[in-house]
């Protein structure tokens, strides 16, 4: 199955308060290998970026002013994620914003366009309960180089998330269920085994004699078995 690692940056924390997506990025993975295919766009949100959000991603109103609207990139986005497993860190946040944008475009919720949605934050919390499990903490824990992550950026974060996912799921695809069948506890005493010897009939004896004669001729009278039988009969 195709896996798509997706991340967004927004004008604020709550889509319900009218905040919008200003950057979206996704990278494709097949068979635990990044294919190089990516989807990345900056977007004009038709509103101001909050100061708190600006400190996180650094995307200014002036920079976003001439960018496309979310509606303009909808078809390309939906084609990119079609029937793939979407993997996000803190998925409810991104899904909430994406569903808001899709709703404004009069389209169905995100779940209708992908195969499934996986939240790596949920996985990380199960693996490391009580510890910090944000993207930076996971990169540090799994020794993933995130030195370029001075500010949040959707494309870089999607790529880092792919590496984190590989680290936290390492070995799962190669796990093999070992099935052991109980062996019956049977002890055999050789003295209890009765060997049955069946005598050869006349036809079998004649065939046996003919075979020995042929071997004796080919070996120039060196067929030991024939001579042993002859001496035994005498």
Planar angle of CA 169, 170, 175, nearest 5 degrees:
95
- In DSSP terms, which residues pair with 118 in a beta bridge? 87
Q: How far apart are CA 229 and CA 234, in angstroms?
A: 9
Per the residue annotation, which of 40, 89, 152, 208 is the catalytic one? Answer: 152
CA distances from 145 to 17, 135, 140, 149 (A): 35, 11, 8, 9
Catalytic residue flag (residue 152): yes
Q: How far apart are CA 161 and CA 131, in angstroms?
A: 18
- Closest among 48, 77, 52, 50 to 64, alpha carbons compared: 48
Catalytic center residues: 152
């Amino acid at each position: 199955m195709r896996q798509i690692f997706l991340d967004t940056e927004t004008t604020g924390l709550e889509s319900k308060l009218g905040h919008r997506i200003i950057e979206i990025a996704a990278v494709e993975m097949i068979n635990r290998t990044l294919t190089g295919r990516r989807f990345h766009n900056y977007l004009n949100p038709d509103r101001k970026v909050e100061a708190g959000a600006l400190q996180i991603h650094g995307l200014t109103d002036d920079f976003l002013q001439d960018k496309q609207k979310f509606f303009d990139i909808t078809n390309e986005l939906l084609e990119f994620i079609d029937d793939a497993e979407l993997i996000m860190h803190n998925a409810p946040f991104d899904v909430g914003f994406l569903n808001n944008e899709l709703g404004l475009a009069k389209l169905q919720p995100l779940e209708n366009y992908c195969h499934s949605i996986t939240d790596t934050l949920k996985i990380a919390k199960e693996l490391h309960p009580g510890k910090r499990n944000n993207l930076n903490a996971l990169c540090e824990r799994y020794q993933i180089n995130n030195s370029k992550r001075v500010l949040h950026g959707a494309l870089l974060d999607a790529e880092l998330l792919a590496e984190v996912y590989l680290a936290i799921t390492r070995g799962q695809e190669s796990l093999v269920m070992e099935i052991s069948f109980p062996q019956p506890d049977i002890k055999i005493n050789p003295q209890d085994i009765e060997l049955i010897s069946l005598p050869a009939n006349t036809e079998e004896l004649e065939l046996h004699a003919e075979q020995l004669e042929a071997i004796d001729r080919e070996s120039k009278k060196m067929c030991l078995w024939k001579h042993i039988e002859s001496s035994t009969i005498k």
